[in-house]
Amino acid sequence: MKKVNVKRVEDLEEEEQSFPVSPTGQYFTSSVLSISVISVLESEIPIDDSCTMILLKDVFLPINPRFSSIMVRDKNGDKQWKKVEVKHKDHIIVPIFPEGKAKEFYDNCFNEYLTKIAMEQLPQSRPLWEIHIFKYPTTKSAGNLVFKLHHSLGDGFSLMGALLSCLQRADNPSLPLTFPAFNSNNSNLESDYKKRFCTNVVQKVSGVVNTLVDFGWSLLKSTNLEDERTPIRSGDEGVEFRPIDITTMEFSLDHLKQIKSNLKVTINDVICGVLFLGVRLYMEETRYEQKNAKSTALVLLNTRNIAGYKSVKEMLQPSNESKWGNRFAFLHVSVPKINKDEDSLTNPLGFVFKAQNVIQRKRNSAAVILTGKLLDTLQKYRGPEVSAKYIHNTLKNSSMTISNMIGPMEKMALANHPCKGLYFMVVGVPESLTITMMSYMGTLRVAVGTEKGPIDPQKLKCSIENAFDRIFKAAVPSASSKTPN
């Protein structure tokens, strides 16, 4: 007689209420990694939180079932998302500070508060997110709304799509938000590589050589090869558990586009050139003898096939190429050095071209794809903890991480609260320096997360701003000639 599998009603109900955690989600909730994303919305008007619970219940929670789920292990020991009843008040935090103080006082309060929540772990006993409402006016806003979301819920693309689902255009809520055009050359890392790899024999040979060199170097960087201890890298164990400072600065997208156009490079080349030069200027000023110390940046790449943000509903469809989840890869990039015969004062554009060359060469390589395959193999045969350890070492052995997101061109509003500014920071990373970028309303907002103590955040901020000024004046001389003395 043929055996028939019969499941109890309780088992079927439990299956309906649970679904597997992705491999990357398991890495980010392992014994060695617990990484979260903090997103800050700066309100143009004082925050009225009277409708918070309604928005939470009717808008935020329905976005994705993961926002109403916790991680549990099934009978086989595999991690699953399990739906639970959300106790809304446990996830909404409204800090209390003295009333009637100056905006500068609240600047300090807000910065310290961000440091505090960046260090705290999200409780595993409830869904992995929190919303913090800072209702005091700072020099930059009338109030701040802070979302803390665990990275296992999704990557920046997914989480930004979720956040935008809660927001509307401030001028006309019936119209959709629009975004700067994506560069089609960056649409899909794997498919783009395959097309380029088949172009001609020279590129094939170059691609194979670059792949072998880059994958070998990436393997060494993730195992034995560690960056030097420098003014931007303490190299201490457990750096991910130490307090951080978060500082921000703004750059005009129009100015970035002017540099891009005049130098015939990409926006990413310009941004990386500015950051690399800024970091070297900081190292030079802080510890001159280490201005050219070996330093590696991990540039995060989105590996989706995308031409813009998708709605959350679209991302959840199985056939969609821009699926919800964690879909990104690391690109190892050596921070260019200041040549002995080259003065960064007289030739700041050299850093833009160096950034262009190294990133272009890295893109003519399948090393990122092979690294992804390696992680899949480790996860399959040795488990997610081993893969997580590999990622931890990749981060720990490098000096900094750079990631960016594209935001809307129009002003947004949440529950009739116009959003004046927007930025994010990745926390819990075993590095002393993390740099994130977010475009919004024609401005690029750069956020810099630094380990408290070893790095002077204000000096680093000034160095990056100085680097931008030097590059802009060198690339757009007509603009600098118009500047009054």
pLDDT score for 246? 97
Q: Residue 409 class from Cβ within 10 Å (0-12 exposed, 13-18 middle, 19+ buried)?
A: middle
The CA distance from 168 to 174, in Å, is 8
Looking at the chain, the whole-number percentage of residues with pLDDT higher than 70 is 82
Mean pLDDT over 11-16 rounds to 46
Which of 72-81, 117-126, 227-236, 341-350 shows the lowest per-residue confidence on average (mean pLDDT)?
Answer: 341-350
Q: Where are the beta strands (DSSP E) in 3-122?
A: 18-20, 36-43, 69-73, 79-83, 92-93
Question: What is the chain's mean pLDDT, rounded?
Answer: 84
Label residue 74 by pLDDT band (50, 70, 90): confident
Q: How confident is the model at residue 358 (pLDDT cuts 50, 70, 90)?
A: confident
pLDDT at 187: 45
Is the per-residue pLDDT at 52 higher than 50? yes
CA distance 422 to 438: 7
Give the pLDDT score at 181.
65
pLDDT band at 203 (very low <50, low <70, confident <90, very high): low
> Mean of the pLDDT values across residues 110-117?
97
SS3 label, residue 178 = coil
pLDDT tens, residue by residue, 151-191: 999 877 777 777 887 888 999 988 888 887 645 444 454 55
Tell whether the model's pLDDT for residue 12 goes beyond 60: no
Share of the chain above pLDDT 90, in %: 55
Is 0.95 topped by the overall pTM? no
d(CA 397, CA 229): 10
Q: What is the mean pLDDT of residues 387-405?
A: 93
**Weakest mean pLDDT among 188-192, 273-277, 449-453:** 188-192
Model confidence at 333: pLDDT above 50 = yes
- Beta bridge partner(s), residue 18: 82
CB-neighbour burial class of residue 241 (10 A; exposed 0-12, middle 13-18, buried 19+) = exposed
Residue 171's SS3 state is: coil
Mean pLDDT value across residues 105-131: 96
pLDDT band at 192 (very low <50, low <70, confident <90, very high): low
Tokens 């272009």 belong to residue? 360
User: 214-218, 281-285, 360-364: which range is least confident on average?
Assistant: 360-364
pLDDT digits (tens, 9 = 90+) for 399-416: 999 998 888 999 999 999
